[in-house]
Amino acid sequence: MEVVDYELFAIPPRWVFLKLETDTGVIGWGEPALEGRSTTLCSALSELVEDYVIGSDPRRIADLWYRMYMGDHYNNGPVLMSAIAGIDQALWDLKGRALGKPVYELLGGPVRDKVQVYQWLSGDHPDDLADVAVAAVEDGYTTLGLMAHTRPARVRTREIVLNVQKRVDAVMDAVGESVDLAVDFRGRVTTGVARQLLSMLEEYNLMFVEEPVHPSYNENLPELSAATNIPFATGQRMYSRWDFREVFQSQSVDIVQPAISHAGGITEVVNIGKMAEAYNIMLMPKCSVGPVSFAASMHVQFAVPNSILQEQHDEFYAEQDNEFFNYLADESPFTRSDGYMFMDDEPGLGIEMNESYIREQAGKKTSWKGPTWNYEDGSVANW
């Protein structure tokens, strides 16, 4: 068996799908992601597929992974690792289909029967957050996540703290103690402001705070961790097991969040999860893009013992002409009950793609860019 062809589909607002085809007719789907840089990503994907994958046996996943990662003088980084991630997902899907086995079986078999999923709450105003929190709980979710604050601020520390407090209070008042709550700082505040926010949030018994500081300042995590009882999660903008060494060794986080479509795909996220287990750290694969990456994340969840929780964004893009489930010929593999999702024994990633809808969406203009934010004085802020 060898890979003979591939197709790339750039999908609005900011997704990319990869389809690998073999000489035996078996196919595999992957979903790389580099939100706002789809053209750059597709160029990297084409280079890697044509240089290393076309003409190769797709069942040699580890060999192909290392060839793509080490085949040049420059390793790691978001562009390369996101491209590898999509190819890796497609290779696992393809191999599972060829063998008639789900990917989690190829990873050693399931270690759990179900996976808890949590819903992201979107909204600028506290009242909006309260409304979507109530709806999520009514839909069966028992864990919710929200952004700490929605606009950049550097000098008005008191305003930041009060704004975050209002947002958290709105959700807690709406749903009470029936849920666990996570708050994402998104690395948008300084270490000093993060310290004040953590002090204010102590009373809420949060499940975790995500990215308390930008990953560029991970050396500050031990100081913050020592000053609070709130668990930390980080890793969305870290791309390989080598990036995670510092946070493992510092014992400053409780959960790592490599993104399945940024951090080298299934192969590397499993590697990161195994490293985390040795440090008594939990794994929570980050997935805020489309259905292929979500399916890939679920297979990791079923196969890695220290995995907890799976982020769910199935409704996030609906208002952007991008219904999550329309990309699937059958959405039953994503059936949820009481905040959990269950195993499916279909081969590969366990999903069948709606190719006609994918091609229809790929014909639309894809020009999404992350917003450029500014601080109060006009200087550029991190989005």
Q: Are 265 and 239 in contact (CB under 8 A)?
A: no
Lowest pLDDT segment from 93-97, 281-285, 309-313: 309-313
- What's residue 124's pLDDT? 87
pLDDT band at 197 (very low <50, low <70, confident <90, very high): very high
- What's residue 150's pLDDT? 75
- What's residue 366's pLDDT? 75
Q: Is the pLDDT of residue 315 over 60?
A: no
Q: Is the pLDDT of residue 321 over 70?
A: no
- What's residue 313's pLDDT? 65
Q: What is the 3-state secondary structure (H, E, C) of the chain?
A: CCEEEEEEEEECCCEEEEEEEECCCCEEEECCCCCCCHHHHHHHHHHHHHHHHECCCCCCHHHHHHHHHHCCCCCCCHHHHHHHHHHHHHHHHHHHHHHCCEHHHHCCCCCCCEEEEEEEECCCCHHHHHHHHHHHHHCCCCEEEEECCCCCCCCCHHHHHHHHHHHHHHHHHHHHHHCEEEEECCCCCCHHHHHHHHHHHHHHCCCEEECCCCHHHHHHHHHHHHCCCCCEEECCCCCCHHHHHHHHHHCCCCEECCECCCCCHHHHHHHHHHHHHHCCCEECCECCCCHHHHHHHHHHHHHCCCECCEEECCCCCHHHCCCHHHHECCCHHHCEECCEEECCCCCECCCCECHHHHHHHHCCCCCCCCCCEECCCCCEECC
Q: Is the pLDDT of residue 334 over 90?
A: no
Q: Is the pLDDT of residue 383 over 90?
A: no
Question: Whole-angstrom Cα distance, residue 62 to residue 238?
Answer: 20
Beta bridge partners of 114: 342
Where does residue 109 rank: exposed (0-12), middle (13-18), buried (19+ CB within 10 A)?
A: exposed
Q: Is the pLDDT of residue 367 over 80?
A: no
- What's residue 365's pLDDT? 79
Q: What is the mean pLDDT of residues 235-241?
A: 96
- What's residue 364's pLDDT? 86
Q: Compute CA 374 distance to the chain's CA centroid, rounded to the nearest angstrom.
A: 26
Question: Whole-angstrom Cα distance, residue 29 to residue 91?
Answer: 8
Q: Compute CA 373 distance to the chain's CA centroid, rounded to the nearest angstrom.
A: 23
pLDDT band at 356 (very low <50, low <70, confident <90, very high): very high
* Domains of the chain and CATH, by start: 3-104 (3.30.390.10), 109-346 (3.20.20.120)
Q: Is the pLDDT of residue 357 over 80?
A: yes
Report pLDDT digits (tens) over 38-49: 999 999 999 999
| Cα dihedral across residues 115, 263, 306, 222: positive or negative | negative
**How does strand 27-30 pair with strand 282-283?**
unpaired
- What's residue 176's pLDDT? 85
**Dihedrals φ, ψ of 152, to 5°?**
-70, 140
- What's residue 320's pLDDT? 53
Nearest to 238 by CA among 229, 230, 247: 247
Report pLDDT digits (tens) over 16-38: 999 999 999 999 999 999 988 89
pLDDT band at 314 (very low <50, low <70, confident <90, very high): low
pTM of the model: 0.94
Query: 371 or 302: whose pLDDT is higher?
Result: 302
Q: Are 285 and 295 in contact (CB under 8 A)?
A: no
Report pLDDT digits (tens) over 87-131: 999 999 999 999 999 999 999 999 999 999 988 898 889 999 999
Q: Are 268 and 235 in contact (CB under 8 A)?
A: no
Query: 149 or 133: whose pLDDT is higher?
Result: 133
- At what angle are helices 78-99 and 61-70 packed, to 10 degrees? 170
